[in-house]
Amino acid sequence: MRTLSRYFALRYLVLFALTLVVSTLTIVVIEMLLNLDDMLSAGDGANAPFVYLMLRIPSYYLRELIPIASFAAAFFALAIGSHWFEVAAAKAGGISPDRLVAPMLAAAMLVACGTYVLGETWIVGSTREWNRFESGGGPHISYREGSFWYKRGRTIYNISQADASRRTLRGVRLFDLDENGRLIRSLDAPRVDVDDQHRWHFETAVVRHFDPEDHDAAVRVEELSGVTLDIADPNDAALINTDLESLTVAKLRAHAAIRAREGENVHRVNTVLYSRYVEPLSVVLFALLAAPFGLRVGGQRGFGLPALLGIGTVSCYFALRSVSTTLASEGVISAATASTALVLVFAIAGAIQLRFIER
């Protein structure tokens, strides 16, 4: 049995790697056909297209490609075994299909661990750099104390949350310093809308003026309403892209804790956080979902119908995930419920299907 377990586990891992490489190369070709101009403008050197792809692929595609590759690997590992009568021979020897699936699920767990590490390192870093690239090579933005921080010249920017699709910033604080690094003015605004000319529109804002020469002087306070200021350099467009996807799990947890302590909305933060927890689990889940379809491939029957049913199941999962993510972001349901319930339902469905496989 140990030999058979290694056989199917190794086949799964080989097919997983092959599927991931082939699908990545396919995306590379599509990107070259559709976005060649952007690739060539990604830098001045000959390696500009390579830099573009190394940022875009992990930022946009890799989180979905890995579980899909897991599904394809598990499906074909068992489908090939069924087509070549390996599964039938195992059944004749008293080995149930469950014992063929188990080593593949164990291998999928190893892949899931690697997925988590990859997501917390390369993918997060690539997402952060891709945001800078889309902003025209914008600033390096650091994260601490639950907010995004950035300094240009004598102004320090502090952004709590950003929405690039709506070009809005929330929880905005600006600090102007003099030539000696002393605070002379601060601005606090709950929301800022940034237009295409990089002008910042404040609904309301509170400006405080400080006298750096007299620490005992009273702070002069101004309340502004409906004003527009040209305070952002065009190169500062990356401030709009201070995306939660560029944060690690530890920083997302800190971000959520600080926002909750300040009484602010944390629905979107928690949605991103719990999706990070679920991503590695989806690698194992997809392997489990693929197993019954792969085992239904018979010697005389083709791969077509089981493969189509498997694709339909995966499509259903991603569609429901999109709906649950939207509902969680809006606070209709909790992020924990949206993430774990979906995985649990599909895991139960996969296990039930596996039990109906002929023994």
> Are 277 and 210 within one domain?
no
- Say if residue 297's pLDDT is above 90: no
89 falls within a domain:
yes
Sign of CA dihedral 275, 58, 69, 1: negative
Q: What is the pLDDT of residue 156?
A: 86
Backbone angles phi, psi at 139, to 5 degrees: -80, 160
How high does pLDDT run on average in the chain? 86
> Are 62 and 209 within one domain?
no
> Are 228 and 296 within one domain?
no
pLDDT digits (tens, 9 = 90+) for 151-177: 777 888 888 777 766 778 888 888 999
* Amino acid of residue 349: A
> Are 128 and 148 within one domain?
no
Task: Give SS3 for 4.
Answer: helix
Cα angle for residues 187, 192, 193 (degrees, 5° grid): 150
> Are 47 and 129 within one domain?
yes
> Are 271 and 331 within one domain?
yes
> Are 279 and 230 within one domain?
no
> Are 12 and 126 within one domain?
yes
| Residue bearing the bigger pLDDT, 265 or 209 | 209
> d(Cα 353, Cα 305) in Å, to the nearest integer?
16
167 falls within a domain:
yes
Q: What is the pLDDT of residue 85?
A: 83
Considering its fold, how many domains does the chain have in total?
2
> Are 62 and 99 within one domain?
yes
Mean pLDDT over 287-308 rounds to 84
253 falls within a domain:
no
> Are 129 and 270 within one domain?
yes
Token pair listed for 297: 């491939």
255 falls within a domain:
no
Q: What is the pLDDT of residue 94?
A: 81
> Are 166 and 121 within one domain?
no
DSSP secondary-structure letter at 240? G
The answer to whether 204 touches 224, Cβ cutoff 8 Å, is yes
Residue 302: burial class (beta carbons within 10 Å; 0-12, 13-18, 19+): exposed
- Say if residue 291's pLDDT is above 80: yes
pLDDT digits (tens, 9 = 90+) for 213-249: 887 888 999 888 887 877 656 556 556 666 778 888 9
286 falls within a domain:
yes
Mean pLDDT over 54-83 rounds to 94
Mean pLDDT over 172-187 rounds to 90
How many C-beta neighbours within 10 Å does residue 290 have? Answer: 30
Least confident of 64-78, 166-180, 326-340: 166-180
Q: What is the pLDDT of residue 240?
A: 66
The answer to whether 99 touches 7, Cβ cutoff 8 Å, is no
Grade residue 299 by pLDDT with cuts at 50, 70 and 90.
low
Place of tokens 């502004």: 224
- Say if residue 271's pLDDT is above 90: yes
The helix (H) or strand (E) run that includes residue 222 is strand 220-229
Mean pLDDT over 11-28 rounds to 96
DSSP secondary-structure letter at 219? P
Mean pLDDT over 195-202 rounds to 80
Q: What is the pLDDT of residue 244?
A: 78
> Are 129 and 6 within one domain?
yes
257 falls within a domain:
no
Grade residue 252 by pLDDT with cuts at 50, 70 and 90.
confident
- Say if residue 45's pLDDT is above 90: no
Express as a percent the part of the chain with pLDDT over 90: 42
261 falls within a domain:
no
- Say if residue 300's pLDDT is above 60: no
246 falls within a domain:
no
- Say if residue 102's pLDDT is above 90: yes
Last residue of some domain: 241, 256, 286?
241
Residue 203: which domain range? 142-241
- Say if residue 149's pLDDT is above 70: yes
